[in-house]
Structure 1
């Protein structure tokens, strides 16, 4: 009888999803402070800003919001194409592309490129949202904070009706908390070290996630794809 394929506990993808969300909060705070009210992963806020800017005749602000939104959509498109074309290594490949985009952003920030410096990060956040993990019935790891909070309430309601588990609500709550912590750390680091160092730190965190993803997938072998799900 052939040996059973390796198995993966829910903890490993949960850690990855939580760290990815933390990084999204980190860069959102950096982008908001640096771009004067624009986000890099929170497109609902940018869409609101776009409408307000158009209504008030602030065409430059509206153009900036539209460009950031467009970059995010491009990232989501590219990330989905990579994920659909990959089997076992999609997470590693997407994270590797994100690292390159953060490196480009850090170089542009070092050269005082201003608004343009953060556009590669908006693309990277679109890429990141193409990868997610299902943990305890909860879709976590994306930067959809409103959805995460709604998920907490919905999961608690299901628990009260006897149709769900508290672990689902906890997963959504952890995703929200990770985003808030990331925003806190990102703001403190931007103030303390500057834009270039903040972007470089986020890129290094992503590089670490990519290295761990590579190591885990290599250890699991071809029998288990992308932490047990594909």
Structure 2
């Protein structure tokens, strides 16, 4: 009896498994969409890097280094150019998170549709000046917004437009795998890196051949993904294929799920 009571006490003291906050909840859509969007980001970043004199469209770590070098050299045109790009990217993440909370179960479809539109609109924008590359801003805004589209089991935004986080999580995940404590999101890190790298190669080839019109490829890819998301949402409303039980990405653990649009 005492042994049984001890076992029951141990079971009662064992913490419950954390809630899965993935979005979409079903990995059959989340993982393919994540890899496709990483490839899209790598493609757009590579095109933009070549088209806009080594200005990154999605890799803000690289832009931050360029910002520091520009400040050190008192190159104020470059300071303004890089700082404005970082600000637009940040605003994209801000806007995407608000949209994700506002549109509820239509989140995947809406964010992908907006992203496709912004990638295409970039080709219609005036070039602006070197310090203010207006032509690049819609592309940067789209890629910032993309980071609010998907989230892992912990409710964190999946890093779809940069690979530093993926490489770090893969390295730490390998160590945790040896210790038997690996997180489920570990397995997607290598495919995300591969997707972004493959997209970057493709983007470079497209830009060399087609110039700025190469941006139509990532725009078309985003549009195809948006159509798939719209079709799934209409055919299977509320399905884990296109929905989840978590609030907007990176929200407080106490945040409530918002689904005002039915």
1:213 counterpart residue number: 229
Deviation sequence 1:154-207 (CA, Å, 0-9, x none): 111111001127x744310000111100100000000011212x1111111100
Question: 1:66-85 residue pairs with structure 2 within 5 A?
Answer: 66-85=83-102
Alpha carbons of structure 1 residues 30 and 101: separation in structure 2 relative to 1, 3 Å: same
Deviation sequence 1:46-90 (CA, Å, 0-9, x none): 111011001011111111101111111111111111011121101
CA RMSD of aligned residues (A): 2.4
Aligned match of 2:73 in 56, 70, 73? 56
2:256 counterpart residue number: none
TM-score relative to the length of structure 2: 0.77
Distance in 1, Cα, partners of 2:198 & 2:245:
28
1:145 counterpart residue number: 163
1:227 positional shift? 3.9
TM-score relative to the length of structure 1: 0.87
1:104 positional shift? 1.1
Deviation sequence 1:114-142 (CA, Å, 0-9, x none): 73211100011111011223279996452
Unaligned ranges ≥5, structure 2: 1-23, 247-262
Greater fraction helix: 1
Unaligned ranges ≥5, structure 1: 1-6
Aligned match of 1:181 in 168, 178, 198? 198
SS in 1 for 2:152: strand
Q: Is the 8 A contact 1:24 1:125 kept in 2?
A: yes
1:222 positional shift? 2.9
Q: Is the 8 A contact 2:39 2:195 kept in 1?
A: yes
**Which one has a bigger Cα radius of gyration?**
2
Question: 1:187-202 residue pairs with structure 2 within 5 A?
Answer: 187-196=204-213, 198-202=214-218
